[in-house]
Amino acid sequence: MRNAALVLGIIGGILGMIVGFFSYGYTEVVDRFGEVPDIAEQVENVGLIRTMSLLAPLLAIAGGAMAKVRALWGGVLLLASAAGMHYAFGFGVFTMFPIAFCGLGGVLAIAAGKPDEPKAHF
């Protein structure tokens, strides 16, 4: 289960980075060139989008990397990443896989009570 959490966390983080690049870039383009009514309007909370564009993929990749040795900590980071992506970007066609991968990876990491290695987290 820890290996699955590791892979899901890293893949979810990479997909989250792609969403983050475009989200951050969109807010920057609208700031520089202005809004175009009904086509490109600025988001309500620019700071939230920019922060989560960096933080959510970072948490996912770090959580996935930690899942093998410290499954509880890695699982918490993966679930925090999934919650942050859902809160900032919503659940849509481009965010469903990063959110689902991070969420499932977090659940698998936390559920690894009988670990692959001799050290349990609870």
Domain ranges of the chain: 2-110
Name the CA dihedral angle for 27, 33, 34, 40, rounded to a multiple of 10 degrees. -60
* Token digits of residue 50: 């920019």
Is pLDDT above 80 for 120?
no
> Is 13 within 8 Å of 57 (Cβ atoms)?
yes
Residue 79's contacts (CB-CB under 8 Å, 6 or more residues apart) are 102, 103, 106, 107, 110
Q: How many CB atoms lie within 10 A of CB 104?
A: 17
Does residue 114 register a pLDDT over 90?
A: no
Q: pTM for this structure? A: 0.88
* pLDDT tens track for 18-60: 999 999 999 999 999 988 888 889 989 999 999 999 999 999 9
